[in-house]
Structure 1
Amino acid sequence: MADDLRLGLNLGYWQRDPVDATDLVRTAERLGYESVWTAEAYGSDAFTPLAWYGARTSRIKLGTSVAQMSARPPVTTAMTAMTLDHLTGGRLLLGIGASGPQVVEGWYGQPFGRPLARTREYVEIMRKVWRREEPVTSPGPHHPLPLPGGLGKPLKLITHPLRAEIPLYLGAEGPKNVALATEVAQGWLPLFAHPEKIGSMYGEALAGAGPGFDIAAMVLVVVTDDLRSALDAVKTMLTLYIGGMGARTRNFHADIVGRMGYAEAAERIQDLYLAGRRDEAFAAIPDELADGIALLGPIGRIRERLDLWRKSPVTNLLVMGPRDEPTLAVIRDLVLG
């Protein structure tokens, strides 16, 4: 239970049109938001916007939610993180994730197999890079260093990192991956978190979390008197993720909705979406699911529903959706008091 929730702003990734959110980030910093986060799928990358916003702010922490491991070798991510951490005075929070087979194989042209082992190896290599205790080597099998049979030799990072231990978060949806986060990272970034179900869904996986482990949940927040329109906004997002953000036989977003107790609905949503019947897929999403993973409605209703989050294992709300100062201020007041 987290009586004192922390608060961040999640900007996500660019949709069709690029968006410079500098004014919004500066406002969030001024209002006392602890962190701002960017993401990547197969459009804008996660690091470049953070560098842009970091150059225009002074205190707010800068997080990737998440940087896709298949987009970069681990040493590249380690170099990028070290560089950005230096330039922003130690404000980086590095969130990484395995993504899913549709993106990994379809966009990056890499095999998706063994995400847990790949993640562990990836993290170990990055930490070796930052610590600079010796030239970096790794037996693999996913990222062997140096390349077996080649002409390379082990190398050590030229630049001394500002911090040898950059805070690391894992984007994870399956229980085994969440358990790995408690072992190798400082935090977990759940995409779809239901405050009334997250404890039962992940209690065993979170058992190994030490003091200070940060569960930073991405939560869509819509302050409005029109609850119906707010529910529909969440359902629009869920339609895409459950229906189309994954292969028919392997969709982690559909899986997590199934573990929440909506397995039949998730299967129907995916079938309808892949059949091109997207309006029907949208209609098949239960309102209670959309309501459960978000904070929607008038201020009073959001205040009441925040109690569910305070009673959950979640420690950090990364709010998505607000794009103006009055709304950011209202959310700040509700969450931080």
Structure 2
Amino acid sequence: MELGRLGVWYPADRLDGPGLATLARRVEELGYGTLWYPEARGYESFTLAAHFLASTTRLKVGSSIANIYARDAFTARRGMATLNAFHGGRFILGLGVSHIPMVEGLRGHRYDRPVPAMRAYLDGIQADTGEDWPILLAALGPKMLELAARRTHGAVPYNVTPEHTAIAAGILGPGKVLAVEQKVCLETDPERARALGRAELAHYLALPNYVNNWLRTGFTEADLKDGGSDRFIDGMVVSGDAAAIKAKLAAHFAAGATHVCIQPVHAKGDIAARDAMLAALADS
């Protein structure tokens, strides 16, 4: 699973079809190895992957993540196989258990215990095939990371710090993919960067899966109140000039990441700022 050293993660629901195609081509032109995207309330994950893949020729495309409650395991397997057959093996299936509001509130399913639910889903994908499927897990806690190490190519942790990366690398062990997401903001005014960061992180602060992981990795209850402390925001959204951001990306690699996907944080609709960040960090 060759992802390249750097990738890009972007909230795809913010763009229309032509805008998504333009983003994918720009990411490919700049030399990034992989483009990652979430599955939230808008576009369906596999359809979106097909659009990205059809818009590019070399770029790998990864779901980060495809919600296991959005389609049964057989459908996920056939979708993954179809995308790779049609597009030269360039699709990586990142799977995750999502969050209670997205599963019970939005989809009307019952949110089961995360690790047993993921294990059963992998059983459905991998049973009786003999295939080495290109699967990664959205793993934050130790038990999900252990499952990723045993059953898949590795993990795609989101909203993490280099401290978490070191823990994850230790659990996954050698030979596994550890593709971590890092939010970046090419902004030298700390207050403006923090304001953008708080806006980006606001909805994640209401999701227990992330909150629990942040508490496990050194943040406090106080750090997570009132939109997040400066310490928390600075830890989650790397800001400053390109050199400062590149140093933080290097910290993830030093901690054991095999791939880092950057998420540009910018004002709503500011595509110029997004593209400036992608260009500035492409050779990190």
The answer to whether the superposition gives a TM-score over 0.5 is yes
SS at match of 1:93: strand
Q: Which moved more, 1:99-108 or 1:54-63?
A: 99-108
With normalisation by structure 1, the TM-score equals: 0.75
Q: CA deviation at 1:202?
A: 4.1
Which residue does the alignment assign to 2:137? 170
Preserved contact between residue 92 and residue 166 of structure 1 (Cα < 8 Å): no
User: Quick check: 1:78 aligned with 2:77?
Assistant: yes
Distance 2:250 2:95 in 1: 29
Moved over 3 A (4+): 322-326
Preserved contact between residue 221 and residue 319 of structure 1 (Cα < 8 Å): yes
Distance 1:237 1:327 in 2: 16
Distance 2:154 2:70 in 1: 21
Which residue does the alignment assign to 2:210? 253
Q: Which has the bigger relative contact order, CA under 8 A and spacing at least 6? A: 1
Q: How many residue pairs are counted as aligned between the two chains?
A: 273
Q: CA deviation at 1:31?
A: 1.8
Residue identity opposite 1:236 in structure 2 = A
Which residue does the alignment assign to 1:28? 27
User: Quick check: 1:313 aligned with 2:280?
Assistant: no
Preserved contact between residue 13 and residue 45 of structure 1 (Cα < 8 Å): no
User: Quick check: 1:219 aligned with 2:182?
Assistant: yes
Preserved contact between residue 255 and residue 263 of structure 1 (Cα < 8 Å): no
Distance 1:240 1:127 in 2: 33
Distance 2:84 2:45 in 1: 14
Residue identity opposite 2:281 in structure 1 = I
- Percent identity for Structure 1 against Structure 2: 27
Shift of the 116–332 alpha-carbon distance from structure 1 to 2, 3 Å rule, reads: same
Which residue does the alignment assign to 1:122? 121
Distance 1:214 1:174 in 2: 16
* Structure of higher CA gyration radius: 1
Shift of the 304–113 alpha-carbon distance from structure 1 to 2, 3 Å rule, reads: closer
With normalisation by structure 2, the TM-score equals: 0.88
Q: State the Cα deviation string for residues 72-109 of structure 1 (Å, max 9, x = none).
A: 11011111111111111110100011112222111222
Q: Which moved more, 1:287-296 or 1:86-95?
A: 287-296
Preserved contact between residue 195 and residue 293 of structure 1 (Cα < 8 Å): no
Unaligned segments of structure 1, at least 5 residues: 134-163, 246-250, 270-280
Residue identity opposite 1:207 in structure 2 = I
